[in-house]
Amino acid sequence: MIQTGTFLNVIDNSGAKTAECIKIIQGYKKRYAVIGDIILVSVKSLRKKRRSFSKVKKGEMYQALIIRTKSKKFYPFCDNFNFLENAVILFTKQNKFLGTRIFGSIIKHFRYTKYMRLISMSSGFVN
């Protein structure tokens, strides 16, 4: 579960390395966010190789979609998932993805949402 102040890894090729959660956008006075929720993040550090031609700058705020969490996500009719890291991908103001690739795999749940494009951007998916 992600809450305000949580540090997250950015797993797309936008140039950001870590980000901090500022606010959970979906829901009224929602305290925790889970996989598939949108949050507002601030970029804390950039990747060293992409620092000179990065799409993002340190300290800027972006919307982000949560891809992986350390806490378990319970599904009623299939397996429960948890990962070893908290990870997000970044959006623009127009809800377009900043990166063109996703490093690592994502869960199959995104196939049935409006973010189906993530399946083709990632290297694979977990059942």
- Structural domain spans, the chain: 7-101
Q: What is the pLDDT of residues 55-91, one digit of tens each?
A: 899 999 999 999 999 987 676 766 777 889 999 999 9
Give phi and psi for 125, each to the nearest 5: -140, 155
Range 91-118 average pLDDT? 88
Q: Does the structure show a pLDDT above 90 at 9? A: yes
Q: What CA–CA distance (Å, rounded) separates 42 from 47?
A: 15
Q: What CA–CA distance (Å, rounded) separates 74 from 71?
A: 10
**Chain-wide mean pLDDT for the chain?**
89
Range 102-115 average pLDDT? 87
The whole model's pTM is what?
0.89
Q: Identify the DSSP state of 117.
A: H
Bridge partners of residue 40, in order along the sequence: 23, 63
In CATH terms, the fold of domain 7-101 is Ribosomal Protein L14 (2.40.150)
Q: What CA–CA distance (Å, rounded) separates 86 from 104?
A: 13
